[in-house]
A and B are shown apart, each in its own frame.
Chain A
Amino acid sequence: MITVEICMGTTCFVLGGDSFSDFEEKMPVEMAGKVELVAGRCLGLCRGGKFEGAPYVKINGVPVGNATPTLVLEILHEMLRSEE
């Protein structure tokens, strides 16, 4: 199971994090049961001047900056392919 943690902190939210609100519906059927979505109050990744990378998500604990649903889907496809 791949865990995708989406930051719902203020900075990430205003810089595009809200576009993940319907991410679950956008996920293709083949990802069902293989990807778990979790919302985080603030992942703390934008500290220390790194806020230009917001919005952030973490995929299996690895931070991904400037995250968009398309980018995250691409990464997930890649990970699932390599698992096969």
Chain B
Amino acid sequence: MDNIQAPLLIEVDWQSTLKTGQSICGDSVVAVKSKEQQRYVLVVSDGLGSGVKASILSQMTATMAAKFVSSDMELPVSLGVMMDALPVCQVRKISYATFTIVDSTLDGETRVIEMGNPPFLLIRNHAVVRNDSRQISSPGWSGRKITVTNMKIEPGDRLVVLSDGITQAGLGSVACKLGWRSKGCEDYLLSRLQQSPDLSARQIASEVVKKAITFEPGFLPHDDMTCAVMYYRKPRELMLMTGPPFRDSKDKEWANRLYNFSGRKIVCGGTTANILARELGAEIKTGLKPVGGLPAMSSMEGVDLVTEGILTLTRVVTLLENNESDSSAAAVIVEELKNHDIIYICVGTRVNEAHQDPTLPAELDIRRNIIKRMKQLLEDKYLKEVEVDYL
């Protein structure tokens, strides 16, 4: 089970908020992970204007940039193709979307290509590190300044990419005439990391956007805001155990596997929890009141979270699919899954015959189907390493 343990991992996450009055974000973020090359490509693009038009420009730019960079296409060529492909704005007669491309491998070799966005921030040991960069030109982007920075990333580094909605937050207001600026964001990040050195990429992105909004008069963003973060660190591991083993004789093995796991532990399923409690000599305490339409969570010594099985896991998949949250135990599991990088799912394959009764609600799906969907979502949408083991 430890064949996918990597010495270093890049956690990639981002947060965006809309310009007030818009219903679609003009900033786009695309992240691509190549397992084979142990390579991550992140693109943040800000489209000209706002709303649908900006969104189309930025999405096209981000998607093309991610594809071209991932396929090692020559930079000037790919930039030219991107420029030619973008639709031209009827108002301004130009086509334009800024971008920041981060191309990074697990050995730390990193290249950042920037055009028009606020400069990226590299935070190392509670300080911002400045790197030498060079400028290149592309026939398709004449007059535009394209900056390329090559550097070596070290474990613990955080690379932060911002859209100008963040750095210009509060611009022109009485309290903050020049806006928050990159410097303001830098100072905020350093101070937050001083207080909480383990902040995840997701937490940082979310906090930066929330903080930027506070500079806007009336807390109403005047532009789309995006903060994307790449955090180079040791992976966080989580084990989710669900379902009793097919053979009773394997119960002990199941329990030992959970007991000996050093990361975060979640158990989903009443019978599973009972088996583990019996084998580990632990007591389960269960809440009586359902929360958010699902059975309440339980507590058990040595396990971080115990929940009901199928209904909760089905809700987990729905929440992951729609990137939503609620008050149920499923939302707590989703939060845990998002906060970890390597997820081991141990699936007991004994079928609960009661669930096969055709009169029961259809959401009592077969455990294996739910887990299959969950694995796919975690890998494709949330860029997690997932290993599923059946017993």
Are A and B genuine complex partners? yes
Q: Is there contact, CB below 8 Å, between A9 and B308?
A: yes
Q: Does B170 contact A (CB under 8 A)?
A: no
A3-33 interface bits toward B, Cβ cutoff 8 Å, 1 = contact, 0 = none: 0001011110111001011111000000000
Q: Does A37 contact B (CB under 8 A)?
A: yes
Q: Is there contact, CB below 8 Å, between B288 and A8?
A: yes
| Most-contacted residue by chain B among A13, A38, A39 (CB, 10 A) | A39
Q: When the two chains form the complex, which single residue of B286, B288, B295, B355 contacts A24, counting CB atoms closer than 8 Å?
A: B288
A5–B311 Cα distance when bound, in Å, is 21
Q: Is there contact, CB below 8 Å, between B286 and A8?
A: yes
Q: Is there contact, CB below 8 Å, between B354 and A39?
A: no
Q: Does B273 contact A (CB under 8 A)?
A: yes
Contact-residue size bin, chain A (C-beta under 8 Å from the other chain) = 20 to 34
Q: Does B91 contact A (CB under 8 A)?
A: no
Q: Is there contact, CB below 8 Å, between B354 and A46?
A: yes
The residue in chain A whose Cβ has the minimal distance to the Cβ of B287 is: A39
Q: Is there contact, CB below 8 Å, between B288 and A6?
A: yes
A41–B357 Cα distance when bound, in Å, is 20
The residue in chain A whose Cβ has the minimal distance to the Cβ of B360 is: A14
B168 to A: closest C-beta gap in Å: 49
Decide: A40 near B286, CB < 8 A? Known: A8-B295, A13-B308: yes
B370 to A: closest C-beta gap in Å: 12
Which of chain A's residues have a CB closer than 8 A to the CB of B271?
9, 42, 44
Which of chain A's residues have a CB closer than 8 A to the CB of B118?
none
The residue in chain B whose Cβ has the minimal distance to the Cβ of A54 is: B354
A41–B364 Cα distance when bound, in Å, is 17
Q: Is there contact, CB below 8 Å, between B274 and A47?
A: no
Q: Is there contact, CB below 8 Å, between A10 and B296?
A: no
Number of interface residues of B (CB under 8 A): 27
Q: Is there contact, CB below 8 Å, between A10 and B355?
A: yes
Q: Is there contact, CB below 8 Å, between A51 and B357?
A: yes
Q: Is there contact, CB below 8 Å, between B352 and A11?
A: yes
A46–B295 Cα distance when bound, in Å, is 17
Q: Is there contact, CB below 8 Å, between B288 and A51?
A: no
Q: Is there contact, CB below 8 Å, between B286 and A51?
A: no
Which of chain A's residues have a CB closer than 8 A to the CB of B169?
none
A8 to B: closest C-beta gap in Å: 5
B388 to A: closest C-beta gap in Å: 21
Interface residues of B in 129-180 (CB under 8 A from A): none
A22–B295 Cα distance when bound, in Å, is 13
Q: Does B290 contact A (CB under 8 A)?
A: yes
B284-298 interface bits toward A, Cβ cutoff 8 Å, 1 = contact, 0 = none: 101111100001101
A15–B271 Cα distance when bound, in Å, is 17
Q: Does A61 contact B (CB under 8 A)?
A: no
Q: Does B102 contact A (CB under 8 A)?
A: no
Decide: A10 near B286, CB < 8 A? Known: A15-B360, A47-B354, A51-B357: no
A17–B252 Cα distance when bound, in Å, is 30
Q: Is there contact, CB below 8 Å, between A11 and B354?
A: yes
A-B contact pairs, 30 of them (CB 8 A): A6-B288, A8-B288, A8-B295, A8-B296, A9-B270, A10-B269, A10-B295, A10-B310, A10-B355, A11-B352, A13-B295, A13-B311, A15-B360, A18-B290, A20-B288, A21-B290, A37-B288, A39-B286, A39-B288, A39-B296, A40-B270, A40-B286, A41-B286, A42-B269, A42-B270, A42-B273, A49-B353, A51-B353, A51-B357, A54-B354
